[in-house]
Amino acid sequence: MNQPFTHGSNYPPPLSTNGVGQTNFGAPRPADVNGVHNGMQNMNFPPPMNMNRMPFSQATPLSQSQGFPNPNPNTSQAGQPNNPNSQGYPPRLSRPADISQSMGNMHVYDSAPRPSIPPSGVNSQNAPPHMGGNIPQNLPPPVGGNVQQNLPHSVGGNAQHNLPPPSGGNFPQNMPPNLGGNAPPNMPPHVGGGIQHNMQPPVGSNFQNLPSHPSSGVPSAFSAPPSSNYNPNLQTLHMPPKSASPASAINGPPIPPKDIHPPIASTSGLPGQYLPPTSSQAPPHFNSQMQPPTPGSLGGPHGLQQSSQMMAGASVAPPPPPPGQQMLGNMPPPPQIGQHYVPPGQPGQFVQQPGLASQPQPGYGAKKLDPNQMPSPIQVIEDDRVNRGGIFTTEGRGKVPPLVTTPFICEDSGNANPRLLRSSMYNVPISKDMLKQSEVPFAIAVQPLAVLAHNERPLPIVDMGEQGPIRCNRCKAYMCNNMQFIDGGRRFQCCFCSCITDVRQDYFAHLGADGRRVDASYRPELSLGAFEFLATKSYCKNDKLPKEPAFIFMIDVSYNAVRSGLVHLLCSRLREDILQYLPVDTSRQGFEKRSEIRVGFVTFHRQVHFYNLHPSLTQPQMLVVSDINDMFVPLVDGFLVKVQESYELIDTLLDQIPRMFADSRETETLLGPVIEAGLDALQSAERTGKLFIFQSSLPILKAPGSLSNRDERNALGTEKEKTLLSPNGNYYTKLSEKCVAAGCGVDLYLTPNSFIDVATIGEITKLTGGSIHKYQYFQADLDGERLINDLLQNVSRPIGFDAIMRVRTSTGIRPTDFLGAVHMSNTTDIEMATIDSDKSIAVEILHDDKLKPEEGAFVQVALLYTSCSGQRRLRILNMALNCAEEMTEVFKACELDTVVNFLSKYYARETLRSNPKAVREKFTGQVARILACYRKKCSTSTASGQLILPECMKLLPLYANCILKSPAFQGSSEISLDDRAFMMCALSSMSVRETAGFFYPRLIPLTAIDPNATAIPTAIRCSQERLQSDGAYLLENGMQMFIWVGKDIDPEWVQAVFGVDNPIHIDVDSTRLKDLDNPYSKRVRDIVKRVQAEHNRQMKLVIVKEKDKLEPIFAQFLVEDRSGLSGSVSYVDFLCHIHKEIRALLS
């Protein structure tokens, strides 16, 4: 069963097995190896291929062979004690006899001397803790209960409260360790309906001093199982070097936290909220160059006159609310410019946010705006569920779908399911100037392989025969229900370019009385918005149908990986928990129950080890490649196998790997050559596939793709930030391009104890359509279950290989920008080595001509990919939009979830091109201009001092502030470089549903639940004011999960859920809830399980007690509150700042 070798004449032929136990490198040579040990098979091999190659060492019995790992770490290969400082290469010496007895029937063939690595030099375990790992617990408790009080009004309004300016406005920089695992967000609050909200901004931002929380302590690593003498049934062959070729490396970062915010009440998003115009000044804000408004710009339509009346203590009656709106209670006038509230115990003092400009000025006391009156995301979500849940049909143009948090069943009636394709606006401005004036981005979010609801119809597959799908002759758009048939059905007019194309004879059908084809209802491409075509050979590389894809598991077996328990965990769980759940092609008849995916295994540290698992073998074979500077694959046949055919060999191999490397003392690892090896293996087998790489440390070994430590967290937030967040060199970028061309995706599972340079090695996952999972300070007993669940989710979800996507639009608009885990070799084709069901791409669309309202606008997304069964397909997604001539129509049909998804990805990319301050100001400015346009064009009848928010965008200020608070944007010394780069990498491929939940976490009460219920309880607003000391709450954003327990909680509830009689005794180090047999324990565990199931990442559960040292980390996710450590303002303060910006723009 030998296969032709694809490397060329200078490479040795691949390893093959003739089925009778003899292993050959190509054709048999005259000189056979006669050394046989314990009945071992004979080995034939060729002489060196050229003069530059190091010749094969003559094979000898195992007792005399070279290159096999020394089983005794305390002795050299010559039997002498190892020198711990030796870095040299030991001479080739004969093996002692006892090794041959202990290693059993294994043959070892080596081509190069093997270095002796000292056991010393292990990576330091004292690095600062990161998110995603295990958290030290010895942090001082925060100063809790910073209650803010409002100063009373002065009689007559003439009293002045002078507050001193802040002293530097610096906040403590010592942050507790970062928490949580890596998991994408889901079920968060969303934006949707809400009537105009007229609000006058209050003055002053309330800030508080927070104690510093030094972090210390690093958890001990998990110990690997001890090694023992055994008799492994494994043949080991050390391969000769090939020639020079590059390689690559990879690692990943943790996740950062946020700060405590003062209590802020929540709102229910009342429709038609209205605030009377009063004299006010916005609080300190992000732009330090912004100046306070002049008195004439301050309140209502009367400007300076009204402001003077209020200074004199006159009572000014607010104007009546506009029709259809209601007034938000009796709101007293807000304070004067620069007025701040004084926390109790600190009379006459306030804290200014870093980077915010505001000078305290004389004024009078006033009540603060009630956060309960602010638009509520919780209310918006619940209203949309009530009003728009159920069945959603997609007929017609410009129909706005339900929110991503609303459960609905989609009936495809001509437009693609919104789970697959969403637009930021469904009434498109007719001209470029109108779109620019609105400032709302025209973008689509494409998640082409998204999983549909269980009772939604799967996409049909249409086989158009050998001639392939019907397409337009000019723009090459695919046949869809928006094409117009003319001339009795003999021709059709393209809806994208208006070109007329003849209909193929085999596709002809007559037209009915309505002008539609009589067979339209029977053909998916003429009646549905989403469907698939079966691709022909012309859509395949070299006009050859593809083979089944492959998964290659590449395991780091260095000292750190063995010591943490990673190697033992993977080898013990891969067989039953992973390989039994490889993806199946449910859409292809005959392939619904078995997976056609091939698998291969590689281990690595200073060398790369390949394993031959050919079904004809009785035992697996190891082949070692020592020349890491010239990586190649020593075999093709037998490396990638079907699990069903080689199950026993795989089982034997996974049993032996932990034993072989249990005494590993290799502390330096590589990564570049590992990726090169996986890429070469897939190319040699002429398959596409994915590499699952498990990496434990920074690849510092001198090899292609080696990296150095450049962790400078103090540079985040400065001009140097964009350099540190960009890849260090272009090696991995170039390697990514090779992987994309070969259809080789890369997923990284990182278990570092220190800096691993995610910004550099994450580039290869970002460009190949892969993903990064990071487990800082990994310990198998604490983090192992989370890693296995992440891996299981990854290998079992729907996936496509060697994908190319193109977006076509109708005349007058065109796609211009593409954001996501993609590679662009030209301006039109989006290339992805792999794309799974959780990956989403954002596409910006701009005008190049004026649109005609009666014709509408059309978008078609075509994805060409290879299924997991090796079938080449075309997935077609269509969308029809309306065209609007009035700005009010544009704002009526905007979809805020998609707007937030696009803006967050766009400005995350901008941070790599500009300084952080400029990016934040640009983003805040765009939000203000969007709302100012609506105020100017759509609400001219109201007073100029009122804040009017559009119905569909009333939560835009909230989400904007949450984006600025996000770890992906927040640059400070409290966040590590790896944390920041990791979050930016994860954000780049998040779906619309994930970004909404990521930026506004879900806070679920756990104590007031019905133990007999099954649904997840309704969430509450993310504010500390919502937390009660006698309650418990679950907070999650798809990446982190917390359970907060109040100090006055009912001991009976604590006993039922945690198994202890007092909250003090709750084990905060535990990452899972106890399995107790009572209704409350089952209900809480069911809620946690359901929340986990909604996300594509397994979140690490962190238990936080009130007033505990971990509470500041939890409080950072209460996004409606102020964050002192990160220097971010509260929701109310940011809304006031946006109001000031709007008024400045309008004036």
Give the E-state strand segments of 312-382 in sequence order: 326-327
The whole-number pLDDT of residue 970 equals: 79
Q: Predicted confidence band at 389 (pLDDT cuts at 50, 70, 90)?
A: very high
Give the E-state strand segments of 179-311 in sequence order: 235-239, 273-274
The lowest-confidence range among 35-39, 470-474, 572-576 is 35-39
By C-alpha distance, which of 340, 365, 366 is closest to 351? Answer: 340
Buried/exposed code over 366-389 (b: 16+ C-beta within 10 A; e: otherwise): bbbbebbbbbbbbbbbbbbbeebe
Q: Predicted confidence band at 653 (pLDDT cuts at 50, 70, 90)?
A: very high
Distance CA 196, CA 216 (A): 49
Residues of each domain in the chain carrying CATH 2.60.40.1670: 399-471+518-546+798-894
The whole-number pLDDT of residue 1005 equals: 96
By C-alpha distance, which of 727, 730, 725, 699 is closest to 712? Answer: 725
Helix (H, G, I), strand (E, B), or coil: what is residue 768?
A: helix
Q: Predicted confidence band at 689 (pLDDT cuts at 50, 70, 90)?
A: very high
Q: Predicted confidence band at 722 (pLDDT cuts at 50, 70, 90)?
A: confident
Dihedral (C-alpha) 306, 311, 316, 319: value to the nearest 10 degrees? 40
Distance CA 623, CA 231 (A): 18
Distances from the Cα of 404 to the Cα of 401, 896, 1005, angstroms: 9, 10, 22
Mean residue pLDDT across the chain: 75
Q: What is the pLDDT of residues 89-109, one digit of tens each?
A: 333 333 333 323 333 333 333
Higher-scoring residue by pLDDT: 722, 298:
722
The whole-number pLDDT of residue 173 equals: 43
The lowest-confidence range among 181-190, 307-316, 418-427, 773-782 is 307-316
Domain 1002-1115: CATH superfamily is Severin (3.40.20.10)
The lowest-confidence range among 802-806, 1002-1006, 1111-1115 is 1111-1115
Question: What is the mean pLDDT of the segment spanning 479-507?
Answer: 95
What is the helix (H) or strand (E) element at residue 601, kind and residue range? strand 598-604
Give the E-state strand segments of 1057-1145 in sequence order: 1101-1105
In angstroms, how far is CA 946 from the centroid of its own chain? 38
Instruction: Specify the residue for token string 């996004």.
Output: 1119
Distance in angstroms between the alpha carbons of the first and the last residue of the chain: 80
Residues of each domain in the chain carrying CATH 3.40.50.410: 550-710+734-796
Looking at this protein, which amino acid is placed at residue 862? Answer: A
The whole-number pLDDT of residue 369 equals: 72
| Residue 182 confidence (pLDDT) above 90 | no
The lowest-confidence range among 117-131, 377-391, 705-719, 998-1012 is 117-131
Residues of each domain in the chain carrying CATH 3.40.20.10: 1002-1115
In angstroms, how far is CA 125 from the centroid of its own chain? 27
Q: Predicted confidence band at 348 (pLDDT cuts at 50, 70, 90)?
A: very low
CATH number of the domain at 399-471+518-546+798-894, out of 2.60.40.1670, 2.40.160.20, 1.20.1510.10, 3.30.300.180? 2.60.40.1670
Q: What is the 3-state secondary structure (H, E, C) of 211-244?
A: CCCCCCCCCCCCCCCCCCCCCCCCEEEEECCCCC
By C-alpha distance, which of 265, 260, 164 is closest to 209? Answer: 260
Strands 421-423 and 443-446: antiparallel
Q: What is the pLDDT of residues 1060-1100, one digit of tens each?
A: 989 999 999 888 999 999 999 999 999 999 999 999 999 99
Residues contacting 302, CB < 8 A, separation 6+ = none
Higher-scoring residue by pLDDT: 866, 714:
866
Question: What is the mean pLDDT of the segment spanning 878-891?
Answer: 96
Check residue 239 and give left, alpha or beta (phi > 0: left; psi -120 to 50: alpha): beta
The whole-number pLDDT of residue 181 equals: 42
Q: Predicted confidence band at 1125 (pLDDT cuts at 50, 70, 90)?
A: low
Looking at this protein, which amino acid is placed at residue 259? Answer: D
Looking at this protein, which amino acid is placed at residue 896? Answer: L
| Residue 5 confidence (pLDDT) above 60 | no
Q: Predicted confidence band at 256 (pLDDT cuts at 50, 70, 90)?
A: very low
Distances from the Cα of 354 to the Cα of 201, 601, 963, angstroms: 21, 51, 18
Distance CA 620, CA 1098 (A): 33
Distance CA 1113, CA 640 (A): 45
Check residue 777 and give left, alpha or beta (phi > 0: left; psi -120 to 50: alpha): left
Question: What is the mean pLDDT of the segment spanning 1037-1044?
Answer: 95
pTM: 0.72
Percent of the chain with pLDDT over 90: 57
Q: What is the pLDDT of residues 830-839, one digit of tens each?
A: 999 999 999 9
Q: Predicted confidence band at 393 (pLDDT cuts at 50, 70, 90)?
A: very high
Residues contacting 1141, CB < 8 A, separation 6+ = 282, 285, 924, 925, 928, 932
The whole-number pLDDT of residue 944 equals: 72
Question: What is the mean pLDDT of the segment spanning 980-1004?
Answer: 94
Domain 550-710+734-796: CATH superfamily is von Willebrand factor, type A domain (3.40.50.410)
Question: What is the mean pLDDT of the segment spanning 774-795?
Answer: 94
Q: What is the pLDDT of residues 547-567, one digit of tens each?
A: 999 999 999 999 999 999 999
Q: What is the pLDDT of residues 168-179, one digit of tens each?
A: 444 444 444 444
